[in-house]
Structures are given as structure tokens and as C-alpha cells.
Chain A
Amino acid sequence: MKRLLTVFMIGLGLVALAACAAPGPAAPPTAPATQAAAQPTAAATQAASGPIKIGIMAPQTGTLAASGKDMIDGWNLYWTQHGTKVAGRDVQILIEDDAGNPDTALTKARLLVEQRGVDMLVGNLAANTGLAVADYAKGNGIPYFLPIVSADDLTQRARIPNVVRLAGWTSSQTTHPMGEWAAKQGYKTAVTLAQDYAFGQESIGGFTQTFTENGGKVLAQLWNPIGTPDFSTYLAQIQSQNPDVVFVEETGADCGRFVKAWNDFGLKGKIVLLGNETLVDQSLLRGMGPEAEGIVSIGKFAEGRDAPETQSFVSDYDKAYKLLPSYYAVNMYTAAQLIAAAIEKAGGNVSDHAAFVKTVQSIEITNTPLGPIKTDSYGNPILNVYLRKVAKRPDGRLWNTVTFTWPSVSQFWTFDIASYLKQAVYSRDFQPGFNATDTLKK
């Protein structure tokens, strides 16, 4: 027994020695500072020959797998259409499954960057996976592009220079116009219902602020846990408030359950329902029945938008995957479009990370399936926002058609940027105009 202990002590000594000796000549790859400094030169020498490597992360297993598949399909469609040679260099795409789990996402980001040597990271769906990878990217400066993750602060109060939302959005970007529009339609009172987490709270915050600024009154805010099996209890509460309009944010399986319950309990047609983008995104419309027809929502993508650039994308996607594209697919497709344009503009030189991020931010394309798009100096897109209505296509499938367009909407809406950034990020406790004073009110 004693001898074993001795061995452990010797072992400990060894470890200590190794730890002290580590920075010596035989040391493992040392500090990130030196590493980062060494990388560009190393990469630059091979820049002329090797391919540009792009690491894609999307959930391929677990609850979010279907949307993750849409992401990959949308991304791949661009490269199948346009080929993988840009500015004379091959583009190599490495796809990894983040399982919708932040721990896995972080491991995969490390794998792609440290082991596979990618030049940039693109993707992730769930906010927590995106935030985990963003923190990692903050540490090593790798360009990280987020077409889906919408957590407001990433391009607002907690900006990371090398983290850019390409063809993405902030949660409140589309709901600002929605609130103002609802108030201007003459709706006086509203109840909001949303999932009780950051995305829901930020979406609702945007609506609440502009709705109340324009004379509306929010009677109540209901928050349902993610994965609410039964919405009936919330519907009862909405009925008892009897508002002019209900604004709803849901994602995933909650959408179908809400829309079904809304219909089953006879509220459809009785109270005006407005949804956020995810409530009736194509990924969910596919699984919904006639109960979804006619739902009005706000979004930055409308697969039924009557414009050639949107319709050619929709029909190409349909041909390739036998599905209408969801926003997951179109965002990734558009991100690919922007990245390809940036690589072209940079002349195939992506080794200087900071410079490449700058180039990406400078790209402006007028004919993406989303409409015209450019990136603001905070790393968030300025794009069209559409008022949408679910309609039946001639082939019987449902899609979102456009009834009104707000061109070039910024994440800051019409607010003064500096004062908007002084305001806190929307949360359950900060809903200006409902439970907090609206300091931006003109």
C-alpha cells in the first residue's frame, strides 16, 4: 500500500516536472499568442496551392436534426450550382454534427480549427451552440459566420469582431416592424405568448417596444416553457384577456401544437393572430395542415415572394430535395453566396483573418433569395423584412406569401443606435412599454 502511494508521489513529481519543463525546446505547441502569430505566415505560404477550408457545423442528430439538414442542404445547393472553385482556389467543405449541444459544438469547433485547419467556421443553429463557439472564436480570432443564431447581443452590446452574422438576423430585427405595423392597423390591445428563453424574450421585446410606442397597450405577456405539450391553458388565459391581437413566438414542435390548438379551440377567426418568423417557417408548415392557412407573420424570408431570384432558388431547391426551402436553408445558401463573393473579392487570400472578416462585411448583393442584403458595421445584415401570409400553392403545399415589404431593415430599426445600445438587451424583466420604461420613446 505504502509503495503505491510512493509511486503516486513520484508520478506527481513527474507531472510537475513536465509542467515546468513544458515551455522548453521540446515543448508542445506553445502559447496562443505565438501560435496566432505563426499561423498567418504558415498559411500564407500554402495559400497559393492548398484549398480554402470551410468548416460547417449543424445539428445532424437529436431534436434539431431536420432543421440542421435544411442548413446543410441549402449550403450544398449553392456549391453544386456554382462549383467549388473560387478565385482560382478550391473550396473544401468540412461538415460536422454539433448535435444541438453546446459541449459537442465546442469540441467540433476545436476539431475543425485545430485539427483540420479550416479557414473559417460557418453555422450552428441553437443559440447556446452559437454562443459557445463564438466565445471560442473570440479566443483565437478565427472568422465565424452565423447565418441562423440570432441572439441580439452578439452583434450589439457584446460584439466579437471576428463573429459576423451572414444572412442572419437578430431576434428583434423583424419584430420591431411588426409591432409598429400592428399599432398602425388600429389594434389597441395585445397579448404576447412566447417561449421562455432568450430568443422568445428578445422577439417579444422588439414587438412590445414598437407596439406601445405607437399607442398600443400590451395587456399580458405569457411565457411557455420550450416543449410545451399542451397549449390549452394559455389559450384560456388569452381568451379571458380578450385582446385585439395576439403576437406569438414559437419554435420547433411547439409551433405545430400551438397552431393546432389555436384552431381546435375555435380562436382562429375570433382573435387576430400574428406570428414571428419561426412560427410558420417552411420547416414547420410542411407538417401542418389546413389549420395554418391564412396565418399572418413577419419574417426576412418568404418562400412565396414573387421575385425571380427567390423563385428560381425555391424551384431549384425543390428539384434537388423535394421540399420547399425553410429559412435555415435559405440563410445558409445566401451565406455561401456572400462568402464566395468575399473570397472572390479577396483574390482567394483568406489567411489574414481580420482582413477577410472585413472583406466579408463589405459585400453587398442585391439579388439573393432573401432580397438585397448587406452587412452593417456591427456585423449584422441589413435586409428586407416581409409581412407574410400562409397560402396554399397550386400543388397543394403551404407557403408564405408577401403582403408587405419593409426594405433594408437594420437590427436597430429606426432607433438612434447609441441610445438603443444604452438600453438593456430585451429579457423577461426588460420589456419596454410593458414592465419597463421605454427610454427611447420619442
Chain B
Amino acid sequence: MSPTFLIFQLLNGITFAALLFLLASGFTLIFGLMRVVSLAHGAFYLVGGYIGLTVIRATGNFFIGMIVAAVAIGLLGLAIERGLLRFVRGEELRQVLLTIGLAFIMADMSLVIWGGDPVSIPAPDFLRTSFTVGDLTYPKYRLFVVLVGGLVAAVLWFLQNKTRLGAIIRAGVDDIEMVDALGIDIKLVFSGVFLVGAALAGLTGVMGGAFLSLYPGADSEILLLGLVVVIIGGMGSLEGAVVGSLVVGLLDTFGKAFFPELAYFTIFGPMAIMLALRPSGLFGRIK
């Protein structure tokens, strides 16, 4: 087992974790404040990716695609929150089922609109090459994903811990009635959070589309991984999303390398153990 091999696998794990974090962060943000388990998050990812692809094909610019996808999915999320979820606020089961229904519709409609052949989003030219250190060759695009992941984590951390908005959200997580009583328009905050969470999924769709490609079923595959991340990390916790992503990313990579027989169990196993010992996850609050 050469050190290059280990470094290489470590990089693989971290870059994959960064993508998982991007998805899980939005999911956990929405859950943290609103207690909404948005199972439409995978569909947001997929539709975001497809929108990004369409824009990138038209403009030739990857970053415009990223922005348009994030905005479009953010607005879609806002419409869903205002138009549908609002009517079942506080009813957890109904919320979950509503998002499942929406996920079915979005996935099927994107099949109609974009067809079902797997497509991969072209990464920007300057990221399409690899760099070489010693006998290690590594694609630049994957490091770009880590960069974006880190950036999003930093921004979210700053927003949550250093701003008034963050204070409101943190307070809202603990006691929504209290925040409401203080005269803060919590409904507006709800909508804003849902918008941001959905936008993050849309953005991730473009990032992931260039990495994992887009195809029907990509929505549920990524959602599954995202759920494992938040179950291990703890639902509603940003730190949990970071740690959970790293755990899943590294386990997946090293698991496949060292225990190829157990390819799925390296992910499901830890989740099962976590469920048995601590159903609220590493950083989740007991409820």
C-alpha cells in the first residue's frame, strides 16, 4: 500500500464528501428550522442540474449555469413553500408525503423534458485538466468542488453564528413561538430558509452533474446518500452535515478499496450503528 495510493484515496474521499455536504447542508438547514424533511431535495438537485445544463449549453459558461440553476430552484422552492407546504405547517407526516409527491412529479417531468439518456455537464475548460504531483494525477475539477463546499460551509457558518438572521434562525430552532412572540415575521424567515436550502440543492445539481452526470434516478441516489449523511451527522446541524459528509465520503472510498465485498454496507452499516446507539446522530438534538 503505497503512500500515494493512500493520499489519492484520501483526496477521493474528501472531494466526494464536499459534494455530499453541498446537498446535505440545504437539507439540514431546512430541517433545522422548519422541521420539514424535504424528500424533494434529490429532485431539486436533479432539476437544478438539468436547468444548469441547458443554460451552459446555451451560454457556454459554467458559472452562469450554476447561478441560474441556484436561482431557479430557489424560486421553485419558494413557490412550493408558499403555495403548498404552508398549508400543512406543523404536520410532519403530511409535509414529508407532500415532498415525496412533488419529487415523483419533478423526476417524471424532467424525464419528459430532458430525456433519460445520462448526460454529463461539461466543466469549465480551465478545470477540465488534471495536475500531477510526483506519480499522482488528480483532476482539478474535483478540487474545485472542495473549494465550493468549503466556501458554502464558511458562509453558512458565518450567517448562522455571526449575524442577526442567524440569531433568529438559531432561536427559531429552539423555540418558534418565542421568536414569533418577539414580533419577528417567522413566516418570512421560513420562506427564506426554504429558498436558500432549495437553491443549494440546485447549485449542487450543477456541480454534481459535471462529476456524477445527470440521469433519471440520480435524484433518489443522491437523496439516499444525503439522508445517510444527515442521519450520521444529526439532522438540523451544520457541523453534523460537515462531519457526516466526511464520514460517508471517506467510508465509501476506503470501504470500496479495502472491503470491496461490502460496498454498500460500508455506508449502511455505520448508519445502522448510529441509529441503534444514537438515533439523533452525532450532533443532533434529542427530541
Contact = CB atoms under 8 A, between A and B. Distances in A.
**Touch A–B, Cβ below 8 Å:** yes
Interface of A: 61-67, 69, 196, 222-225, 227, 229-230, 232-234, 236-237, 240, 252-253, 255-257, 260, 264-266, 283-284, 286-289
A66 B9 contact: no
A265 B137 contact: yes
Contact of A287 (B9, B16, B120): B120
Contacts of B130: 264-266
A68 B175 CA distance: 51
Given A196-B263, A240-B2, A230 B253 contact: yes
B63 interface: no
Nearest to B249: A230
B52 to A, nearest CB: 15
B60 interface: no
A229 B248 CA distance: 13
A284 B141 CA distance: 22
Given A196-B263, A284-B117, A232 B253 contact: yes
B185 interface: no
A434 to B, nearest CB: 15
A63 B217 contact: yes
Interface in B1-36: 2, 5, 8-9, 12, 15-16
A338 to B, nearest CB: 27
B279 interface: no
Interface stretch (B37-45, B77-85, B208-216): B208-216
Contacts of B119: 256, 286-287
Most chain B CB within 10 A, of A236, A237, A266, is at: A236
Given A257-B212, A265-B138, A287-B117, A233 B108 contact: no
Most chain A CB within 10 A, of B8, B108, B116, B117, is at: B117
Interface string B180-224: 000000000000000000000000000000001101111001100
Nearest to B8: A236
B124 interface: no
Contacts of B256: 224, 233-234
Nearest to A326: B117
A234 B16 CA distance: 14
Contact of A232 (B12, B217, B222): B12
A299 B133 CA distance: 38
Nearest to A220: B260
Given A66-B117, A223-B263, A233-B252, 13 more contacts: A62-B217, A64-B116, A67-B116, A230-B12, A232-B16, A233-B253, A234-B256, A240-B2, A252-B215, A257-B212, A265-B137, A265-B138, A284-B118
**Contact-residue bracket for chain B:** 35 or more
Given A225-B264, A229-B225, A236-B5, A65 B116 contact: yes
Interface string B248-261: 00001110110010
A253 B118 contact: yes
B76 to A, nearest CB: 22
Contact of B213 (A196, A264, A287): A287
B138 A227 contact: no
B111 A230 contact: no
Contact of A66 (B15, B115, B264): B115
A324 to B, nearest CB: 11
B139 interface: yes
A284 B16 CA distance: 23
Contacts of B218: 253
A240 B1 CA distance: 9
B208 to A, nearest CB: 8
A30 B254 CA distance: 58
Contacts of B257: 233, 236-237
Contacts of A234: 256
Given A66-B115, A234-B256, A253-B118, A264 B212 contact: no
B113 to A, nearest CB: 12
Contact of B12 (A67, A236, A253): A236
A61 B111 contact: yes
19 contacts: A63-B216, A63-B217, A66-B111, A67-B117, A196-B263, A229-B222, A229-B225, A230-B16, A232-B15, A232-B142, A233-B256, A253-B213, A264-B130, A264-B139, A264-B141, A264-B142, A265-B130, A288-B120, A289-B122
A65 B111 CA distance: 8
B258 to A, nearest CB: 10
Contacts of B138: 265
Contact of A253 (B122, B217, B263): B217
A256 B263 contact: no
B9 A233 contact: yes
A254 B35 CA distance: 35
B213 A283 contact: no
A266 B118 contact: no
Contacts of A260: 120, 213
Interface in B233-287: 252-254, 256-257, 260, 263-264
Most chain B CB within 10 A, of A66, A255, A289, is at: A66
A344 to B, nearest CB: 35
A367 to B, nearest CB: 29
Nearest to B20: A229
A230 B215 contact: no
Contacts of B5: 236, 240
B217 A227 contact: yes
Contacts of A287: 117-120, 213
A283 B15 CA distance: 29
B206 to A, nearest CB: 15
Contacts of A225: 263-264
Contact of B260 (A61, A222, A266): A222
A286 B114 CA distance: 13
Contacts of A252: 118, 215
A60 to B, nearest CB: 9
A196 B115 CA distance: 27
Ranked nearest first, the 3 interchain pairs of A and B with the lowest CB-CB distance are A66-B116, A63-B217, A266-B137
B194 to A, nearest CB: 26
A229 B221 contact: yes
Contacts of B263: 196, 223-225
B253 A256 contact: no
B209 to A, nearest CB: 11
A428 to B, nearest CB: 9
Contacts of A64: 116
A257 B253 contact: no
A62 B216 contact: yes
Most chain B CB within 10 A, of A232, A256, A283, is at: A232
A230 B118 CA distance: 15
